[in-house]
Amino acid sequence: MAHSLNRRKFLQTSALAGTALLWSPPIKANNHDIANEIGKSKWDLDTPALCVDLDKLEQNLKKVHTRLAGTGVGVRPHIKTHKCPALASMQMEAGALGVCAAKLSESEIMLGNGISEVLMTGVNVTIPKIQRAMALRRKHPGFIQAVDNPQNAQDLQEAARATGIMADVVVDIDVIRRSGVMPGKPALALAQMVDKMPNLNFRGILAYDGGVQHVKGFQKRRERALNTFEPVVDTYEQMKKSGLNLEIFSGGGTGTYDIMSEVPGFTDVQVGSYLFMDCQYIEIGGANNETEFDDFAPSLTVMTTVVNTNHPGRLVTDSGAKALTLNRPTAWVLGEPDFVYNAGSDEYGTITFEKASKTYKVGDPLEVIVPHCDPVVNLYDKIYGIRNERVESILPILARGMSQ
Amino acid sequence: MAHSLNRRKFLQTSALAGTALLWSPPIKANNHDIANEIGKSKWDLDTPALCVDLDKLEQNLKKVHTRLAGTGVGVRPHIKTHKCPALASMQMEAGALGVCAAKLSESEIMLGNGISEVLMTGVNVTIPKIQRAMALRRKHPGFIQAVDNPQNAQDLQEAARATGIMADVVVDIDVIRRSGVMPGKPALALAQMVDKMPNLNFRGILAYDGGVQHVKGFQKRRERALNTFEPVVDTYEQMKKSGLNLEIFSGGGTGTYDIMSEVPGFTDVQVGSYLFMDCQYIEIGGANNETEFDDFAPSLTVMTTVVNTNHPGRLVTDSGAKALTLNRPTAWVLGEPDFVYNAGSDEYGTITFEKASKTYKVGDPLEVIVPHCDPVVNLYDKIYGIRNERVESILPILARGMSQ
């Protein structure tokens, strides 16, 4: 194995030797024993390793549809969470209307890997990017783009005309002063402008309230979500009165998935974290459990290894901020409720505790729930699909690092 | 271009279609116009884009050697900062004794890409990893491993014997209760144990004080660095008296590079950030400038684009935590001292300000110094090498994500 690893690495990387000028796709040293990893116990994986429990994942995939059945609200999962075409396929098979992507490069990866319906929630604002987006739309009729200002609408129209296509567009409405056109008149005017443009096809609106998703306590979250959304709903009503096509009214997330059906005309929730869950979401509480949001099962974990036990009440692991990010609350160690995990150091995690279920020694594996799933997944190239504690599949995170 | 992009993407990724079972290296959509990027203005790059100013980089590469000339202290740069063999090569050419790597997977990438001298500062504690490390040592005589406990030394000895090699080893000494054996008797005993083992070659010690690197104020930092290091120096003296080979006494970082020569017997500093600099290091002050650590030039930046200007005193960019991490102080916008950058959101950055040098509009590029270089670099697959504001080279970050 050692020999073939070195040989393969040499063959794969020799093109690079002596020059930094030409780009070649990253060569990963840890590809060498992938074929041997299927069937391996998750406790034997080299760490840090990102894992998803497939039973829990499949349960979550179904649960969001079961829970929303009969509400009139569909599901358009946001792939910014997992960046993985294989998981997007599973979401489509489970009944999603399509998926959302945050960035153009993510959209390219999804559409290029078998996902036919992609709504890009971010706007493309530079001409080269708009041209790339239109080329993507020419190839993939299921690609829908967002727009949030009049100049951008004109740029989109011009690029669509130059590409010789009709491009599907939704207007993004400002909810938390981050993206979107202001609700009310500006949004209505923009929608009407888009609707009249010869090469743009107005499909509806989106509005994402990122601020409310992690409000603790279901009723508190519900009230804030509905209050904050009032200007958007007013805008929707005005657009409807004006005769605009509003087949899409998209928004919401895992924190509000069971609240958005109260919004008139609302068509689909952009859930992402429901698939994995994480410490941040578990803490917010759900409709049926005020202290723990347990509608979805925490399926995503990182396997880590104890590397130092020199100091009492303290364990050092091989998973720091480069494996878990700096998000808070920090990682929870499964089976060790008293452990406090600090991932503030880049390369090392430090656990402090007063009580432990056993005496840990150097080399022992630990499994942790991650602080915030989206940016953690973005650190890894693959997710191990685990069933009954063994590796059943390996899911490449093909859109990892695609922040463009 | 659009057609060839789509065709290439299809060809590259078609092996994946229909199955998530088999691993293939990540396919990056943004490879399509790499050949066209050389010569491009950095202001025209698709964003977020990680850039290094080559003039400043080269200045930093030289400066650390100039400054340390005559002190008897050499330079063994830590590649955990850049994870990029091309930059490691430049460091070796500039006079480094070798490089440090934090993890085994990083070491494999460096040794497999032309860097012959690698000291791995982290310990390998599981048997499969130790076996992999020994296979690496068999292939690359310049690979040095750390050990920090007796059981680990025995495991290394056994694996070296099984591999049929003499393995070079340094003992890591505990400074900040993170890694290493306790200084004094435990460290001495471990070193003597290693020294007597038939298949291990004791080369010396390392001791890293990660806590002191960012202490603000040079004199305060110097005092703390030297005080904290006293037990390590005592241990060094005991080892020397006992007749051990101490050709390596490695430690320190960018924050203490010009302090460690005061430590008796010290051989080399493990500087990393000196190459790039970042907000965290600039703030600590240097020996000649108490408020700004300007020994090294800030060469590393991220190019970002304004995507929303709807609200006065507020700009939204396309670079959030997935482009800049959650580290603090947050990014500094070049040329805009009044801007406060918030990268707390995964996909978006939000800048608030009272004064701006100009009126910004949607699509305008901005350039920022990153909060903390190591974890930011770990988010990207390549660094654009910039000279006179144009792309001169593209540096693949081959060890990106190599936290194992």
Q: Where are the domains of chain B?
A: 55-276
Closest-CA residue of chain B to A124? B307
**Residue that the structure tokens 């007796």 belong to:** B150
DSSP-derived 3-state class of residue B75:
strand
Sign of CA dihedral B62, B68, B72, B78: negative
Mutate to test the interface with A, among B3, B4, B19, B23 (most CBs of A within 10 A): B23
Chain A residues within 8 A of B322 when measuring between CB atoms: 374-375, 378, 403
Write down the mean pLDDT value for chain B: 93
Mean pLDDT (whole number) for B278-283:
98
Res A33: pLDDT: 58
Instruction: Tell me the β-bridge partners of A41.
Output: A390
Distance from CA of B6 to the nearest CA of A (A): 7
**Strands B349-352, B268-269: parallel, antiparallel or unpaired by DSSP?**
unpaired
User: CA nearest A107 in B: which residue?
Assistant: B29
- A30-39 pLDDT, tens digit each: 444 566 899 9
Please indicate whether, in this complex, the C-beta atoms of A113 and B13 are within 8 angstroms of each other: yes
- Flag whether residue B138 sits within 8 Å of chain A, measured between CB atoms: yes
Of B18, B350, B401, the CB nearest to A379: B401
A343, A348, A354, A360: CA torsion to nearest 10: 140
| CATH number for the domain whose boundaries are B55-276 | 3.20.20.10
pLDDT of residue B384: 98
Instruction: Look at residue A315 in the predicted model and tell me its pLDDT.
Output: 98
Q: Which of A126, A152, A163, A352 to mutate to test the interface with B (most CBs of B within 10 A)?
A: A126
The confidence band for B20, taking pLDDT boundaries of 50, 70 and 90, is very low
Q: Is the pLDDT of residue A7 over 60?
A: no
Tell me the pLDDT band of A12, cut-offs 50, 70 and 90.
very low
Say if residues A204 and A249 touch (Cβ distance below 8 Å).
yes
Q: Which residue of A has its CA nearest to B2?
A: A135
Q: Do A178 and B350 touch (CB under 8 A)?
A: yes
Chain A partners within 8 Å of B211 (Cβ): none
| A-interface mutation test, from B40, B151, B176, B404, most A Cβ less than 10 A away | B404
pLDDT in tens, A229-257: 999 999 999 999 999 999 999 999 999 99
Lowest-confidence segment of A7-16, A194-203, B259-268 by average pLDDT: A7-16
Does the pLDDT at position A20 exceed 80?
no
Q: Where are the alpha helices (DSSP H) in A80-126?
A: 85-93, 104-111
Q: Do B86 and A380 touch (CB under 8 A)?
A: no
Segment (H or E) for A2: helix A2-13
With a pLDDT cut of 70, the percent of chain B lying above it is 91
* DSSP codes of every residue in B362-384: TT-EEEEE-S-HHHHHTT-SEEE
Contact call for B397 and A26, based on CB within 8 A: yes
B26·A25 Cβ contact <8 A? yes
- B7–A contact, CB cutoff 8 A: no
Q: What is the pLDDT of residue A36?
A: 85
Reported confidence tier of residue B36, pLDDT bands at 50, 70, 90: confident
Contact check, Cβ <8 Å, B178/A394: no
Encode pLDDT of A128-138 as tens digits.
999 999 999 99
Q: ∠ at Cα B369 (B366, B370), nearest 5°?
A: 115
Note if the pTM is more than 0.80. Answer: yes
Contacts of B217 (CB under 8 A, 6+ apart): B284, B285, B290
Return mean pLDDT, chain A. 93
Chain A partners within 8 Å of B393 (Cβ): 20-21
Q: Residue A155 and residue A140: Cα distance in Å, rounded?
A: 20
Name A78's bridge partners: A100
Which residue type sits at B171? V
Retrieve residue B8's tokens: 């290439």
Q: Residue B362 is nearest to which of A152, A174, A362, comparing CB atoms?
A: A152
- Say whether pLDDT at B56 is over 60: yes
Question: Contact, A205 vs A175, CB < 8 A?
Answer: no
Yes or no, beta carbons of B396 and A23 under 8 Å apart: yes
Confidence of residue B183 (pLDDT cuts 50, 70, 90): very high
- Confidence check: pLDDT of B226 > 60: yes
Relative to beta strand A382-387, strand A49-53 is parallel
State how far residue B138 is from chain A, nearest Cα, in angstroms: 9
Decide if pLDDT at A273 tops 80: yes
Q: What is the phi/psi pair of residue B282, to 5°? A: -60, -35
Residues 88-107 of A with CB under 8 A from B: 89, 102-103, 105
Task: Collect all residues of chain A within an 8 Å Cβ-Cβ radius of residue B182.
Answer: 310
Beta strand extents in B256-381 (DSSP E only) = 268-269, 300-308, 314-317, 332-333, 340-342, 349-352, 365-369
Residues A370, A347: Cα–Cα separation, whole Å: 16
d(CA B232, CA A378): 38
Select the more confidently predicted residue: B288 or A19. B288
Which residue(s) pair with A211 in the sheet?
Answer: none
Contact B212, B257 (CB under 8 A): no
A176: nearest CA in chain B? Answer: B311
Taking only the tens place, the pLDDT of each residue in B79-133 is 999 999 999 999 999 999 999 999 999 999 999 999 999 999 999 999 999 999 9
Mean pLDDT of the region B336-365: 98
SS3 label, residue B20: coil
In this structure, of A72-81, A239-248, B1-10, B67-76, the range with the lowest mean pLDDT score is: B1-10
B2, B23, B380: residue with CB nearest A394: B23
Mean pLDDT in residue range A57-61: 98
Phi-psi region of A315 (alpha: psi -120 to 50; beta: other; left: phi over 0): beta
The CA distance from B197 to the nearest CA of chain A, in Å, is: 21
Residue B13: its pLDDT value, please?
Answer: 33
Q: What is the CA radius of gyration of chain B?
A: 23
How much is the average pLDDT of B375-384?
98
Is B234 buried (19+), middle (13-18) or exposed (0-12) by CB count in 10 A?
A: middle
Interface of A with B in 337-396 (CB under 8 A): 345-348, 350, 362-363, 374-375, 378-382, 385, 393-396
Q: Which pLDDT tens digit goes with each residue over A283-292? A: 999 999 999 9
CB contact under 8 A, A178 and B148: no
The predicted model gives A313-328 an average pLDDT of 98
Element (H, E) at A183: none
Question: What average pLDDT does this structure show over A386-394?
Answer: 98
Task: Report CB contact under 8 Å: B310, A174.
Answer: yes
Q: Is the model's pLDDT at B7 over the cut of 90?
A: no
Evaluate if residue B17 carries a pLDDT over 50.
Answer: no
Q: Count the Cβ atoms, other than its own, within 10 Å of residue A353.
A: 18
pLDDT band at B34 (very low <50, low <70, confident <90, very high): low
pLDDT-derived band of residue B33, with 50, 70 and 90 as boundaries? low
Instruction: Report the amino acid identity of residue B6.
Output: N
- Closest by Cβ to A308, choosing from B46, B179, B402: B179
- Token pair in block for residue B342: 């918030």
Report the C-alpha dihedral over residues B255, B282, B84, B347, rounded to 10 degrees: 130
Cβ of residue B185 closer than 8 Å to a chain A Cβ = no
Topology annotation, domain A54-274: TIM Barrel (3.20.20)
Q: How many C-beta atoms surround the C-beta of residue A190 within 10 A?
A: 24
Percent pLDDT > 70 in chain A is: 91
In the predicted structure, residue A279 carries a pLDDT above the cut 60: yes
Omega before residue A48 within 30° of 0, cis: yes
Q: Which residues contact B292 (CB under 8 A, 6 or more apart)?
A: B282, B283, B285, B286
